[in-house]
Amino acid sequence: KLWKIFNKKYTDTGLIKGAFSAPGRVNLIGEHTDYNEGFVLPMAIGKKIIMLGQLRNDQLVQVFDLVYKTKIKFSLDSLTPLKKDTWANYLMGVMDEIQKAGYPLQGANLIFISNIPQGAGLSSSAALEVVTALTMAKLNSLKIEPVEMAHLCRRAENNFVGVACGIMDQYVSCLGQKNYALFIDCRSNDYELIPFKDHNYQVLICNSKIQRGLVDSEYNI
């Protein structure tokens, strides 16, 4: 179904294409300790962002958001933060950091859809960063290891979006596995997968409907 939508939006370039996903997360222990170099224990959740993409033979990137039915386009040659369509800054920031790290990028046609509740503290922004990094890396045949990808995504949020976040959200979106929590020492960036299924635990996530935003909040002071 998503490929049918993709094919209606874009003309086939004949180049590499693929579908990729990245999960949201819930944090079990360690609120506000990742950016203070403490310990955290998050885990990936089943809610995720799916992105479909096809490589272009130029520097143009076109993105269609299936959640809000909005479309943007920009060039990889001139990436600057936007005041409007702020979700686009997460994608642009990731592409900017990939290029700054020395990886060459070509443009792409992209669509994405998400079932992660936005503003609910489940890290939809980190999932968007990670799925963008993964998609662009695969389409451009780049070998970027998960840990490096997580750091690229964090730098994108710090430097391009303007959120002074820690590494937790990007780490667990890149490294999280089903039935495991992810222990992270945010000072050394060492991590360990902690088996969760063996203990017969279940995690219940409640949506309070209170929106959470970081860019303009006191979090960023």
Active site members: 169
Calculate the dihedral angle through the C-alpha atoms of 137, 33, 27, 44, rounding to the nearest 10 degrees: 20
Say how far apart CA 86 and CA 199 lie, in whole Å: 41
Q: Give the number of residues written for the chain.
A: 221
Neighbours of 145 (CB within 10 A): 9
